[in-house]
A = this chain, B = another copy of it.
Amino acid sequence: MSQPDAAAAAIVEIDGSRLIDRLRRLAAIGARPDGGLNRQAFTPEEGEARRLVANWARDIGMTAETDAIGNLYLRYVPDGTDGQAPVLGGSHLDTQPAGGWLDGAYGVIAALEAVQAIAEQGVPLARPLEVVAWVNEEGSRFQPGVMGSAWFAGHFDLARAPQIEGSDGEALDHAIVGYKAATPDIEERETPFPIAGLIEAHIEQGPILEREGLKVGVVEGVQGIRWFRVEVLGEAAHAGTTPLGARRDAVLAATRLVQALSAAMADPADVLRFTVGRFVVSPGSPNTVADKVTFTIDMRHPDPHELDKGEATIREICAGQAAPCTAEVTVTETLSPVAFDERVVAAVAGAAEALGIAARRMASGAGHDAANIARVAPAGMIFVPCHGGVSHHPAENADEADLIAGAHVVATAMARLAAR
């Protein structure tokens, strides 16, 4: 075991120009006239992307496998590692209908570059490496999203597929069959299988790294989400004849609550997310004092105790500061936070440090495939900065140097995780 042990401190640098070249070639599949991508799940475009990536992998001696739902696994099995649980890197190949060239694709191509660099450099490993592309992460054509990884983790039942209709009317089971039939040379594989570790690289989809001038985010987990609906009830009245003191104005009460909540949710650590994105007034007539406002709260934090504290604050403020109106608070959705495996997080952080790449630990505000896999195996993520935090948009972009730096970290962290 002396050789793999050496890999535990390995530093692996990938071929940056090949990484960017492959990303550009992949971005040609499903390209939109506006520079964005439309490569939705289980479409011929996603199938073509799958074939392209599988062929790149085969060219360097990897094998391509799939499973019942169509996830793609590109396997690199060094001598003496067969039978060991693999270390995976990857993300997804599908995009939003008006998406960008990096969301998903970057994680897959960075992992492919990582495996190729490790193989080319002969880094000794104790475990196989795999590049994975989970199907239907975006959930734009078929709901729910993060479907391939949820199914792998046992949270999505494929028996539902005939009842799930796509946005274009095709049933999910039919779409999967067609998708897989287009690449008959990709072998079937039994799932689930043990995973020793998984690393998903992704653009941040937020502004933090860019703002702080950092190259890499070491993602410690995915924030928990709690959604609320607040219904503020007042009394309708004539705007011209009703004195201000005699009113129970739902707009005044609801705007006061939003301001008080916003002040109470201020977080010096800048981790908590608090958003009022919907605010609907009834009757909504300029000359009528409103009798009802319904607004939403989207609260996110990686720590479930902080979410509980936030909920208590929301309930206290809405109960105490709505007078002369009343406010009723209802929780409409709850997603528990995901904490990534500390071994994977440490491997990513250690890789960035060994490479001298400026990084910070952070939480993911959005859901990702890695959060599903984290429920059944050690998993983690690497974020790279993107321009202005923009994603799910044709303008989605990132500096090539940052994409390359992130892939160095993926390669080094995968090599280190596969060392034992």
Distance in Å: Cβ of A53 to nearest Cβ of chain B:
26
Q: Does A63 contact B (CB under 8 A)?
A: no
Q: Does A389 contact B (CB under 8 A)?
A: yes
Q: Does A215 contact B (CB under 8 A)?
A: no
> Which residues from chain B contact A389 at a C-beta distance below 8 Å?
237-238, 241-242, 246
Q: Does A159 contact B (CB under 8 A)?
A: no
Within A290-306, which residues are at the interface with B (CB < 8 Å)? 290, 293, 296, 298, 300
Within 8 Å by CB of A275, from B258, B278, B289, B364, lies B289
Q: A255-B259, A259-B256, A266-B244 are in contact. Are A277 and B239 (CB under 8 A)?
A: yes
A244 & B272 in contact (Cβ 8 Å cutoff): yes
Q: What is the bound-complex CA distance between A239 and B238, given in angstroms? A: 36
- What class of interface size applies to chain A in its complex with B? 35 or more
Within A264-288, which residues are at the interface with B (CB < 8 Å)? 265-267, 270, 272-281, 283-288
A238 & B274 in contact (Cβ 8 Å cutoff): no
A223 & B206 in contact (Cβ 8 Å cutoff): no
Per-residue CB contact flags for chain A residues 190-228 toward chain B (1 = under 8 Å, else 0) read 000000000000001111100100000000000101010
Within A101-115, which residues are at the interface with B (CB < 8 Å)? none
A204 & B241 in contact (Cβ 8 Å cutoff): yes
Per-residue CB contact flags for chain A residues 227-262 toward chain B (1 = under 8 Å, else 0) read 100000000011111111110010110111011001
Distance in Å: Cβ of A294 to nearest Cβ of chain B:
11
Q: What is the bound-complex CA distance between A239 and B298, given in angstroms? A: 7
> Which residues from chain B contact A204 at a C-beta distance below 8 Å?
241
Distance in Å: Cβ of A237 to nearest Cβ of chain B:
7
| Top 4 A-B residue pairs of the complex, sorted by shortest distance between their CB atoms | A206-B241, A240-B365, A241-B365, A239-B275
Can you list 27 A-B contacts with CB-CB less than 8 angstroms, sorted by A residue number?
Answer: A205-B238, A205-B241, A206-B241, A206-B242, A206-B243, A207-B243, A225-B240, A227-B286, A238-B391, A239-B273, A240-B300, A240-B365, A241-B365, A242-B389, A243-B273, A244-B272, A244-B274, A246-B389, A249-B275, A252-B262, A255-B256, A255-B276, A256-B259, A275-B289, A277-B290, A278-B281, A278-B285
Question: Please, which residue of chain B has its CB at the minimum distance from the CB of A207?
Answer: B246
A270 & B290 in contact (Cβ 8 Å cutoff): no
Question: Please, which residue of chain B has its CB at the minimum distance from the CB of A254?
Answer: B255
Q: What is the bound-complex CA distance between A275 and B238, given in angstroms? A: 9
B279 & A287 in contact (Cβ 8 Å cutoff): no
Q: What is the bound-complex CA distance between A246 and B205, given in angstroms? A: 13
A285 & B277 in contact (Cβ 8 Å cutoff): yes
Q: What is the bound-complex CA distance between A364 and B284, given in angstroms? A: 23
**Of listed A225, A238, A246, A300, residue having the most chain B CB within 10 A:** A238
Q: Does A366 contact B (CB under 8 A)?
A: yes
Question: Please, which residue of chain B has its CB at the minimum distance from the CB of A279?
Answer: B281
Distance in Å: Cβ of A270 to nearest Cβ of chain B:
5
Q: What is the bound-complex CA distance between A300 and B243, given in angstroms? A: 11
Distance in Å: Cβ of A157 to nearest Cβ of chain B:
25
Q: What is the bound-complex CA distance between A174 and B418, given in angstroms? A: 89
Question: Please, which residue of chain B has its CB at the minimum distance from the CB of A366?
Answer: B240
Q: What is the bound-complex CA distance between A242 and B277, given in angstroms? A: 13
A366 & B241 in contact (Cβ 8 Å cutoff): yes
> Which residues from chain B contact A298 at a C-beta distance below 8 Å?
239-240, 286-287
Q: What is the bound-complex CA distance between A355 and B275, given in angstroms? A: 60
Within 8 Å by CB of A251, from B207, B256, B279, B289, lies B279
Distance in Å: Cβ of A187 to nearest Cβ of chain B:
37
Known contacts A242-B365, A255-B255; 18 additional CB pairs below 8 A are A208-B243, A208-B246, A239-B273, A240-B300, A242-B273, A242-B389, A243-B270, A244-B267, A251-B277, A251-B279, A275-B287, A275-B288, A277-B281, A277-B285, A277-B287, A278-B285, A279-B279, A279-B284
